[in-house]
Amino acid sequence: MCKMNSKFFAIMTTAILMGCLGTEPEEVQSCNEQQFWYEITPDNPYPGMACEVNGPTKTLAITFFVYKDNEGVNYISNNSSIETGVAFINTVYNPHGIDFTVGEVIYVDVAFPDVTDEEENNKNDSGGDYGDGFNVEDLSEEFEANYNFSNVNIVMVTDGWGAYSMFPWGDRTHYVTFVRASSFETSYVPAHELGHFLGLYHTHQYSSNPDTDSHLDYTPVKRWADDWIVPTEQCYRTGDFVCGTPYDCYNFCEEAIGCSAAFLYQGEKPGQESEYEDCTSEQHSPSLDNLMSRYGDRSVLTDDQGARARYFLQYLSDNNRQGNQLNYSISIS
């Protein structure tokens, strides 16, 4: 029998009943670091997917490289713009336990390489071609001297150059993410490029066939695939290795499924003109707001994409890749 002192009669009835009947409610527990960052199972091939409440957050510092404009007069970005842009990036990654912070800003006193392109095949208003990039060797000795092997390294580029990033499993000295300075504060493209740095593919990575099996023992990724477990759901083995992103054929829809998806894009899809009929939603329903897509509003990172990003953040921290090994700080909110 449950006995209570009279002075406690004012306690809420529900609390009394729980004490007497032994029916205390289950509390939703936050996952610990092991569960949220390391633990994988066949049912949850990426860590933390079974967590109802996030575990601890890990913070990565970024080293920014800011050059002068093509005329060599003004710097193309500043501390205030960079801090605003990083806060914007964190709106995407914080819900998944990843936080970025400004570590250092290196102002390089040289002009950023200008876009020079003699070809007319795909030139844009700024003079560059779709996806134009450049070699790390073109970034000056000051870049190599200040490259931080323990940080994320971002180079701010001028308009005309494409934004891109290095996947984590490559074998190189410099892992760099390139983003445009002019739109850093307001665009989701920097978050998209950091997604590649954290091991996320485009949603259309294996777009030629909706049933493509993207082999996990493929040479560029076999360093981490050696420890891969065979997942219960085979969708983790296909496409972009993430179950939560629906099939996206991008600019291969005509060949892959016999219809055109050009109408889904906003002016930048290659092959905009098509003789095929538009795809119906039953034929093709990609996520139009996924961060790793190439559609208009790339702002959403799914739970399993966030989990994959955690997986690779830990990979980057646990493995030395030609001197590159991320340091992070950890916090529990």
Instruction: Write out the DSSP string of 218-236.
Output: -GGGHHHHTT----SSGGG
Contact between 181 and 187 under an 8 Å Cβ cutoff? The reply is no
User: Domain for residue 260, yes or no?
Assistant: no
User: Domain for residue 18, yes or no?
Assistant: no
* pLDDT of amino acid 122: 43
* pLDDT of amino acid 170: 81
Regions in the chain scoring below 70 on pLDDT: 1-29, 116-133, 215-223, 266-273, 332-333
Specify the pairing of strand 176-180 against strand 164-165: antiparallel
User: Domain for residue 24, yes or no?
Assistant: no
**Residue 106, H or E segment:** strand 98-111
User: Domain for residue 190, yes or no?
Assistant: yes
> Any idea what the Cα angle at residue 293 is, between residues 289 and 298, rounded to 5°?
40
* pLDDT of amino acid 5: 44
Contact between 289 and 264 under an 8 Å Cβ cutoff? The reply is no
> Is 93 in a helix, a strand, or coil?
helix
> Is 152 in a helix, a strand, or coil?
strand
Tokens (6 digits) for 203: 């949603």
Q: How many domains does the chain have?
A: 1
SS3 sequence, 259-270?
Answer: CECHHHCCCCCC
pTM of the shown model:
0.85
Alpha-carbon distance of 268 to 287, in angstroms, equals 17
* pLDDT of amino acid 297: 76
> Is 155 in a helix, a strand, or coil?
strand
* pLDDT of amino acid 132: 60
> Is 86 in a helix, a strand, or coil?
helix
Amino acid residing at 236:
Y
Residue tagged 């002009």 (tokens): 111
Write the CATH number for 158. 3.40.390.10
Nearest in space to 63 (alpha carbons), one of 144, 173, 5, 6: 144
User: Domain for residue 150, yes or no?
Assistant: yes
**Residue 68, H or E segment:** strand 57-68
User: Domain for residue 71, yes or no?
Assistant: yes
Alpha-carbon distance of 109 to 143, in angstroms, equals 11
Domain with 62, as residue range(s), is 49-116+127-200+302-331
User: Domain for residue 153, yes or no?
Assistant: yes
Amino acid residing at 24:
E
Average pLDDT, the chain: 83
* pLDDT of amino acid 111: 93
User: Domain for residue 4, yes or no?
Assistant: no
Q: What would the pLDDT profile of 139-179 be if each residue is shown by its tens digit?
A: 889 999 999 999 999 999 998 888 899 998 888 899 999 99
